[in-house]
Amino acid sequence: MYVSMNRLVVPADYQSHLERAFSQGGERMKDVPGFKEFLFLAPAEGDEYIVFTKWESEQDFRNWTESEAFKRAHTGTNPNSPVKSDLRNYVVKAFANA
């Protein structure tokens, strides 16, 4: 299993814009090969958001990031966006709940 977590630091005046932009992320991703889960985590307070995606494999994630669908999903992004991003990727093992 492979997970990607993108930590976003978002100024207060941009948060509602970002929330609208990501509100349907899981729905848009459901037919991407190897995609398993999408979570857009908004803070109860503060300015740090997490975009979490889970994949069957690292290769599935890489295929997505190199796809036309990925390019379309990221066109029109603001090159002057005030959002700061820290992307982290992990190959992981999942354990059943005890």
pLDDT digits (tens, 9 = 90+) for 61-76: 999 999 988 887 777 6
Average pLDDT over residues 37-48: 93
Within a 10 A sphere around the Cβ of 75, how many other Cβ atoms?
7
Q: Count the domains in the chain.
A: 1
Residue 96 belongs to some domain of the structure: no
- Amino acid residing at 7: R
The predicted model gives 73-97 an average pLDDT of 79
Boundaries of domain holding 81: 2-91
Q: Is residue 35 part of a domain?
A: yes
Residue 56 has pLDDT above 70, yes or no: yes
Nearest 5°: the CA angle 38, 44, 47 is 80
Q: Which residues pair with 2 in a beta bridge?
A: 55, 91
Residue 13 lies in a domain: yes
Q: In this prediction, what percent of the chain has a pLDDT beyond 90?
A: 52
Average per-residue pLDDT for the chain: 87
Q: Is the pLDDT of residue 88 over 60?
A: yes
